[in-house]
Amino acid sequence: MFVDTHGHVNFNAFKEDADQVLRRALENDIQVIMPGSQYSTSARAVRIAEQYEHGVYAAIGLHPIHIGEQRKVDVLETQSEDAGAMQPWESFETRAEEFDYEAYKELISGSLKGKVVAIGEVGLDYYYFPKSKVKREKIKEKQKEVLQKQMDLAGEFGLPVILHCRKAHEDLLELLTTNHLRGVVHSYTGIAEQAQKFIELGLYIGFNGLIFKDVPALPDPKEVIASIPLERIVLETDSPYLVPPAAGQERNEPSFVRYVAEEIARIKNVSLEEVARITTENAQALFALPLPEEE
């Protein structure tokens, strides 16, 4: 069994076939956590999760790229200067949103069967910064302020946080030192020393298909994976993005989490079964996922 701790089956790329995709995952013994990126996708994650007895969960939150001005974003551009062949769903319009604490709170308290297992994805993204230093500082402050509110919400409900972090690892570490929260730094792009610090603060590190990409601007994920214990790693796909090449498809989906597990097993020189068992235990502990007989 695997847990895809970060699969956006609640996004438009799965508008036509979300149910088939989730059933395929469950048949392959893969559980899925769907993080929201703004209110609409958070609400949709909850709605979808409620349709399943077991194995499908939601996280709710406002992603840092949806704070501030509307702009066009290319997902791969965020990982690499040379985006290569862009896939249709890897470019989208961001929609600016003000964080409404009460509305998000309502999603948690109104959800049936405790389907909201985390606040996410939330965090800091310093990638798309304007040239003006004054504007840059303003955006940083705004992102930190909104993240703090969402960390407060996590604290109020005792939920973990799913953290998005791009070019902002030191600022995120600082915020986590004052907010004692369980959580995961998803799609990890920091250096090994920073991963060590996140782990010391009690966080987990999430890896996905980005580990198959050779991005010169980023630290080598293989070195980071080799340097941290399997006991602090969780698996994810970040579907519909970052599809592992071996999947042979354009759109990623939770079932492809197996490829990430295989690569981690190879890097750490352990069996696939061990990666499956330990990362599943990690995800169950982090997100307090119910075991089948408890539901």
Please give the annotated binding residues for a divalent metal cation, written as ranges: 6, 8, 121, 164, 186, 238
Name which of 125 and 238 has its Cβ closer to Zn ion.
Answer: 238
The position carrying tokens 């169950």 is 284
Could you give the C-alpha distances from 277 to 56, 149, 208, 265, 270, in angstroms and in order?
18, 34, 17, 12, 12
Name which of 239 and 282 has its Cβ closer to Zn ion.
Answer: 239
Name which of 237 and 255 has its Cβ closer to Zn ion.
Answer: 237
The order of strands in the sheet holding 204-207 is 2-4, 30-35, 56-60, 116-125, 161-166, 183-185, 204-207, 233-235
Name which of 164 and 232 has its Cβ closer to Zn ion.
Answer: 164
Type of residue numbered 201: L
Q: Could you tell me the smallest distance in angstroms from the CB atom of residue 11 to Zn ion?
A: 9
Q: Which residues bind Zn ion (CB under 5 A)?
A: 238
Q: Could you tell me the smallest distance in angstroms from the CB atom of residue 238 to Zn ion?
A: 5
Q: Could you tell me the smallest distance in angstroms from the CB atom of residue 267 to Zn ion?
A: 22
Q: Could you tell me the smallest distance in angstroms from the CB atom of residue 231 to Zn ion?
A: 23
